[in-house]
């Protein structure tokens, strides 16, 4: 219920906040030749004053022509392309790229996003409007582009549910989930919590660990912005293999949160999902009572998740199609069980690299 109450308190853009600060947008990338120019175009077309923001693309050892395309197409003088140095010692490639970008930035506020994203023209302005003297971190919404394929629609709902759950928890003062494709934070806050120190060895978590550290510092507040003009759009995974690798990467950090109470809650949630196939098996062999309990819990799960997902209309998806929702609820159970187990093992691929956590 915390999530539902939190969504009602989502931060809105502060139109009265006309304070303009210099902003650095950092985009780490690796082999994004097919999509990176769409990202560049959307970032250079922002309504925020062009003399008050810089765009820093950080090349993470790309082997394609991504950097060359950027160099040839960029229009703003403050758009830069830099490359991660070979001597960088941070193990996580993503954290290494963002850290290097911050080290070469001039902005008071840092925005991070991904190279496969497209941004509405008001994105920077709306994210910056949320900052007051106490704000250290703002999480924004990310959505998958509309798809005509069932697999794409399922991902759209599942990803939208994660975004909404994260937002509801943030606004309930329980910041756990966010997405690096759309976050903003004070550079001073990043320095105050020593950046990614303590979790550099983990390939994932450049967004969530930082948010949790800033919130725990008690010096800064954390907010979730929910506005159609601040929603960053990306594309769903084209294949089940890419989807699995992405979700394994996301799940790999769950056991390493500093808040051990949170880790315990995640384990309980995992056991809840694991109970579904167990109830089916026991119900088929021992007693039909377990089949009734399975049906009841499945119904309650679906009702609760429906109440969350309807908050995503129309910002994150155009509508809740009943058949897609029901099918998503069914596949959600084995997917969570597999992703949680595979993430705990910690081996996955990311951008052509084989990584451990």
Which one has a higher pLDDT value, 198 or 223?
223
Residue 342: predicted pLDDT: 80
Residue 126: predicted pLDDT: 95
Dihedrals φ, ψ of 102, to 5°?
-65, -40
Share of the chain above pLDDT 70, in %: 93
Task: Name the band, by pLDDT with cuts 50, 70 and 90, for residue 160.
Answer: very high
Taking the C-alpha atoms of residue 101 and residue 104, their distance in angstroms, rounded to an integer, is 5
* Res. 74: pLDDT tops 70: yes
What pTM did the predictor assign? 0.92
Residue 22: predicted pLDDT: 97
* Res. 348: pLDDT tops 70: no
Residue 254: predicted pLDDT: 74
Whether residue 314 is preceded by a cis peptide bond, meaning omega within 30 degrees of 0, is yes
**pLDDT, mean over the chain:** 90
Task: Name the band, by pLDDT with cuts 50, 70 and 90, for residue 20.
Answer: confident
- Each domain of the chain, given as residue ranges in start order, spans 2-238, 260-356
Residue 233: predicted pLDDT: 97
Taking the C-alpha atoms of residue 55 and residue 63, their distance in angstroms, rounded to an integer, is 22
* Res. 44: pLDDT tops 80: yes
Task: Name the band, by pLDDT with cuts 50, 70 and 90, for residue 340.
Answer: confident
Report the CATH number of the 2-238 domain.
3.90.550.10
In tens, the pLDDT along 84-126 reads 987 655 567 888 999 999 999 999 999 999 999 999 999 999 9
Two tokens at 196?
A: 């990614």
Neighbours of 119 (CB within 10 A): 26
Radius of gyration, alpha carbons of the chain: 20
Residue 12: predicted pLDDT: 75
Taking the C-alpha atoms of residue 21 and residue 129, their distance in angstroms, rounded to an integer, is 10
The pLDDT of 317-330, averaged and rounded, is 93
The pLDDT of 73-83, averaged and rounded, is 94
In tens, the pLDDT along 224-282 reads 998 889 999 999 988 888 888 888 777 777 777 878 888 898 899 999 999 999 999 99
User: CB neighbours of 329 closer than 8 A, spacing ≥ 6?
Assistant: 298, 301, 302, 305
Two tokens at 89?
A: 């010692």
Helix or strand (DSSP H, E) at 80: strand 79-83
Residue 5: predicted pLDDT: 74
Taking the C-alpha atoms of residue 168 and residue 72, their distance in angstroms, rounded to an integer, is 41
Share of the chain above pLDDT 90, in %: 70
Residue 354: predicted pLDDT: 63
In tens, the pLDDT along 176-210 reads 999 999 999 999 999 999 999 887 777 677 889 99
């Amino acid at each position: 219920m915390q999530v539902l109450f939190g969504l009602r308190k989502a931060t809105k853009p502060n139109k009265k906040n006309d304070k303009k600060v210099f902003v650095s947008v950092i985009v780490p990338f690796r082999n994004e030749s097919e999509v990176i120019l769409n990202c560049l175009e959307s970032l250079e077309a922002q309504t925020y004053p062009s003399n008050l923001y810089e765009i820093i693309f950080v090349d993470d050892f790309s082997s394609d022509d991504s950097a060359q395309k950027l160099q040839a197409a960029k229009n703003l003088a403050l758009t830069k392309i830099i490359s991660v140095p070979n001597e960088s010692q941070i193990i996580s490639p993503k954290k290494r790229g963002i850290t290097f970008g911050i080290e070469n930035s001039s902005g008071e506020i840092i925005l991070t996003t991904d190279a496969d994203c497209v941004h509405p023209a008001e994105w920077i302005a709306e994210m910056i409007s949320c900052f007051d003297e106490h704000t250290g971190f703002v999480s924004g919404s990310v959505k998958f582009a509309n798809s005509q394929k069932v697999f794409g629609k399922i991902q759209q709902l599942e990803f939208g549910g994660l975004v909404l759950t994260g937002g509801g928890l943030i606004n309930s003062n329980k910041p756990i989930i966010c997405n690096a494709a759309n976050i903003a934070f004070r550079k001073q806050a990043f320095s105050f919590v020593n950046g990614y120190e303590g979790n550099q060895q983990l390939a994932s978590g450049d967004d969530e660990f930082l948010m949790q550290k800033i919130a725990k510092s008690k010096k800064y507040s954390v907010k979730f912005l929910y506005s159609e003009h601040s929603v960053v759009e990306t594309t769903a995974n084209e294949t089940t293999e890419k989807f699995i690798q992405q979700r394994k990467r996301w799940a790999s950090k769950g056991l390493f949160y500093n808040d051990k109470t949170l880790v315990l809650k995640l384990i309980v949630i995992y056991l809840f999902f694991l109970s579904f196939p167990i109830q089916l098996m026991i119900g088929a062999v021992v007693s039909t009572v377990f089949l009734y309990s399975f049906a009841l819990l499945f119904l309650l799960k679906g009702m609760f998740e429906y109440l969350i997902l309807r908050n995503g209309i129309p910002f994150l998806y155009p509508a809740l199609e009943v058949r897609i929702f029901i099918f998503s609820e069914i596949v959600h159970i084995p997917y969570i069980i597999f992703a949680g187990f595979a993430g705990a093992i910690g081996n996955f691929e990311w951008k052509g690299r084989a990584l451990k956590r």
